[in-house]
Amino acid sequence: MSVINYITKVEFGEGSIAKLPAILADLRVRRPLIITDPGIVAAGLLKRIPSEILDQAALYSGTPANPTEEAVLSAYAQYKQANCDGIVAIGGGSSIDLAKGVRLLSGHGAPLAQYAAVSGGVSKIHANICPLVAVPTTAGTGSEVGRAAVIITSDGRKLGIISPFIVPSVAVCDPELTYGLPAFLTAATGMDAISHCLETFMAPSFNPPADAIALDGLRRGLRSIRAATFDGNDADARRGMMVCALEGAMAFQKGLGAVHALTHPLGAIRELNLHHGTLNAVLMPAVLRFNRGVIGEKWAILSEILGGAPDEMMFQLSKELKLPTGLGELKVTDPMMENVSVQALKDHCHLTNPRTPIQEEYLALLRESR
């Protein structure tokens, strides 16, 4: 096991969940609220949390697939009612992002939309909030080291709340918690992690350390994702994907791009409830082609790593992993695309794409990904 200090403290390694009691003691948390989702409960993963923590914790297990402000408020009400003094989030990015929302409310008032980056909310967030320990059970979002919480607010928008103060106090990255994750979820969350590495590397701001971390994460993800998907207990592959997810999020402090500007409003379509990583995989080929003319030598670097033209290789990888390769398969309609193309212009990832799209270009990217 290893301790990594970069952005926040990371306890990484097989069996590292056993360190949770000591971690909470260091943070002076005596009664945590455990935030998770029904799938984690059904899979029995809560049993991996040391009993001394479970015995004194309160539990919120109602995290939806795409976290909502309503769910955040419900969890926060339970936090207050149980007199909690900290949070443990265990699950995928949805549970961790929801926990970040509850953590924000421990020191700030509602509604959440006022703290969104696109509304100038970054400056409203301060450090007087409760501790949060993030325990990922998927290798995808990297939310365990991310400074953003992406939440569907009460007005129906999927917004990014961004602040260094909401980065989890400690991340516990135990690859064993991802063993046996179903093939589809392994592939979809893995493509989310890979998309973070790709978009961050293409983002135009000057940040050589982030670029280096993104490329290392990309290489590890490409080496591992097939084996992790088709053999859920391949220890090396599971470790590789967890590193890929971690590094993708460490790097995207630099910024993401058009893929995420589109997937955030797509994920806010409640009647579809689409998986974020799946959307990233579907949209990545078209966005890679859109960016090619402005990223210079980065296209050649990606081609070398991927073993061919990046757009074609990412499309083939999705097919190989048996993921959807078009928005039509996901029941995204033309009217939905029109609305998403407008909302993408308001997303916090819009301005960090290397080539800034206009609304008609966003719509073209969606239609190209049909």
pLDDT at 4: 64
| DSSP 8-state symbol, 111 | P
Tens digit of pLDDT at every position of the chain (370 positions): 777 667 899 999 999 999 999 999 999 999 999 999 999 999 999 999 999 999 999 999 999 988 999 999 999 999 999 999 999 999 999 999 999 999 999 999 999 999 999 889 999 999 999 999 999 999 999 999 999 999 999 988 889 999 999 999 999 999 999 998 999 999 999 999 999 999 999 999 999 999 999 999 999 999 999 999 999 899 999 999 999 999 999 998 899 999 999 999 999 998 998 999 999 999 999 999 999 999 999 999 999 999 999 999 999 999 999 999 999 999 999 999 999 999 999 999 999 999 999 999 999 999 999 9
Tell me the backbone φ, ψ of residue 87, rounded to 5 degrees.
-135, 140
Distance CA(163)–CA(46), nearest Å, equals 29
Other C-beta atoms closer than 10 Å to the C-beta of 307 total 10
Please count the other Cβ atoms lying within 10 Å of the Cβ belonging to residue 18: 14
CATH 1.20.1090.10 fits 183-368, yes or no: yes
Q: Would you state the CATH architecture of domain 2-177?
A: 3-Layer(aba) Sandwich (3.40)
Residue whose token pair is 């390769």: 325
Tokens 């309160």 — which residue? 58
- Domain boundaries of the chain, sorted by first residue: 2-177, 183-368
**What is residue 139's predicted lDDT score, i.e. its pLDDT?**
95
φ, ψ of residue 35 in degrees (nearest 5): -110, 125
pTM score of the predicted model: 0.93
Q: Which residue has the tokens 């926040």?
A: 8
List the one residue out of 343, 357, 347, 356 whose CA is nearest residue 119.
347
Residue keyed to tokens 């893929």: 259
